[in-house]
Chain A
Amino acid sequence: MSQLPNGWEMVVGLEVHTELLTKSKLFCGCENHFGSEPNSNVCPVCLGLPGSLPVLNHEAVELGMRIGMALHCTIAPSTFHRKNYFYPDQSKDYQISQYDLPLNSGGYLDLPDGSRVGIERAHMEEDTGKTTHMGGSGRLAGAERSLVDYNRCGVPLVEIVSAPDIRSAAQARAYAAELRGILIATGASDGRMEEGSMRIDANVSVRKTGEPFGTRCEIKNLNSLRSLQRAIDYEALRQIDILEEGGRIRQETRHWDETAGETSTLRVKEDAEDYRYFRDPDLVDLAPSQEWQDAVRAALPAMPAERRAAVAAMVASPTSAQLDAIEVVVDLGLERFIHETVAQGGDAALAISRVANELASNVDQAQHLNVSAFVATVKMEQSGALSATQAKEILGVLMESGGDPVAIAAAKGYEQMSSDSLGAIVEELITANPDEWGRYRDGDDKLAGFFTGLVMKATQGKANGKAVVAELQARR
Chain B
Amino acid sequence: MSDSTSPLRRDDVAKVARLARLILTDEELDLFTVQLGQVLEHANDMNALNLADVAPTAHPYGLTNVMRDDIITPSLAPESFLSQAPDVQDGRFAVPRILGEAP
Q: Which residues of B contact A40 (CB under 8 A)?
A: 75, 78
> With an 8 A cutoff between CB atoms, is B73 at the interface?
yes
CA distance A149 to B69 in the complex (A): 25
Within 8 A of A (CB), among B52-83: 56, 58-59, 63-76, 78, 81-82
CB <8 Å contact, B75 and A89:
no
CB <8 Å contact, B81 and A146:
no
A57-65, A68-76, A174-182, A369-377 - interface stretch: A57-65
B2-10, B24-32, B94-102 - interface stretch: B94-102
CA distance A278 to B71 in the complex (A): 29
CB <8 Å contact, A146 and B95:
yes
A292 CB to nearest B CB, Å: 9
> With an 8 A cutoff between CB atoms, is B45 at the interface?
no
The residue that A279 contacts in the complex, of B58, B95, B97, B103, with Cβ under 8 A, is B58
CB <8 Å contact, A23 and B95:
no
The residue that B67 contacts in the complex, of A56, A86, A266, with Cβ under 8 A, is A56
Give the nearest-CB partner of B89 in chain A: A147
CB <8 Å contact, A23 and B72:
yes
Given contacts A29-B72, A42-B76, contact A85 B64 (CB under 8 A): no
A157 CB to nearest B CB, Å: 14
CA distance A323 to B96 in the complex (A): 54
CB <8 Å contact, B68 and A284:
no
A43-51, A205-213, A229-237, A243-251 - interface stretch: A43-51
> With an 8 A cutoff between CB atoms, is B90 at the interface?
yes
CB <8 Å contact, B75 and A42:
yes
CA distance A39 to B81 in the complex (A): 10
> With an 8 A cutoff between CB atoms, is A38 at the interface?
yes
CB <8 Å contact, A88 and B93:
yes
Q: Which residues of A contact B72 (CB under 8 A)?
A: 23-24, 29-31
CB <8 Å contact, B65 and A143:
no
CB <8 Å contact, A24 and B73:
yes
Q: Which residues of A contact B63 (CB under 8 A)?
A: 284
Given contacts A40-B78, A285-B64, contact A60 B70 (CB under 8 A): yes
> With an 8 A cutoff between CB atoms, is A189 at the interface?
no
> With an 8 A cutoff between CB atoms, is A104 at the interface?
no
Count residues on chain A whose CB falls below 8 Å from chain B CBs.
61
CB <8 Å contact, A145 and B97:
yes
Within 8 A of B (CB), among A279-298: 279, 283-289
Q: Which residues of A contact B89 (CB under 8 A)?
A: 134, 147
CA distance A49 to B80 in the complex (A): 12
B22 CB to nearest A CB, Å: 11
CA distance A150 to B65 in the complex (A): 27
Query: Per DSSP, are chain A's interface residues mostly helix, strand or loop, or mixed?
Result: loop
A461 CB to nearest B CB, Å: 54
CA distance A316 to B55 in the complex (A): 59
Q: Which residues of A contact B90 (CB under 8 A)?
A: 38, 147
CB <8 Å contact, B58 and A79:
yes
Give the nearest-CB partner of A278 in chain B: B56
CA distance A28 to B1 in the complex (A): 50
CA distance A220 to B93 in the complex (A): 25
CB <8 Å contact, B73 and A147:
no
B101 CB to nearest A CB, Å: 5
Given contacts A88-B95, A274-B19, A285-B58, contact A56 B68 (CB under 8 A): yes
> With an 8 A cutoff between CB atoms, is A41 at the interface?
yes
Q: Which residues of B contact A148 (CB under 8 A)?
A: 92-95
Q: Which residues of A contact B56 (CB under 8 A)?
A: 279
B100 CB to nearest A CB, Å: 6
CA distance A88 to B89 in the complex (A): 15
Q: Which residues of A contact B95 (CB under 8 A)?
A: 88, 145-148
CB <8 Å contact, B68 and A57:
yes
CA distance A89 to B90 in the complex (A): 16
Q: Which residues of B contact A60 (CB under 8 A)?
A: 70
Q: Which residues of B contact A56 (CB under 8 A)?
A: 66-68
A256 CB to nearest B CB, Å: 13
Within 8 A of B (CB), among A121-155: 128, 131-134, 140, 143-150
Chain B residues with a Cβ under 8 A of chain A:
19, 21, 56, 58-59, 63-76, 78, 81-82, 89-98, 100-103
5 closest pairs, A vs B, by CB? Answer: A29-B73, A59-B70, A147-B92, A58-B67, A284-B63
In the assembled complex, 14 residue pairs joining A and B whose CB atoms fall closer than 8 Å, in A order, are: A22-B70, A23-B71, A39-B78, A39-B81, A42-B75, A58-B68, A145-B96, A145-B97, A147-B94, A266-B101, A267-B100, A274-B19, A275-B103, A289-B65
A22-B70, A37-B78 given; name 7 further pairs at CB < 8 Å: A29-B68, A47-B81, A49-B81, A61-B67, A90-B102, A145-B96, A220-B101
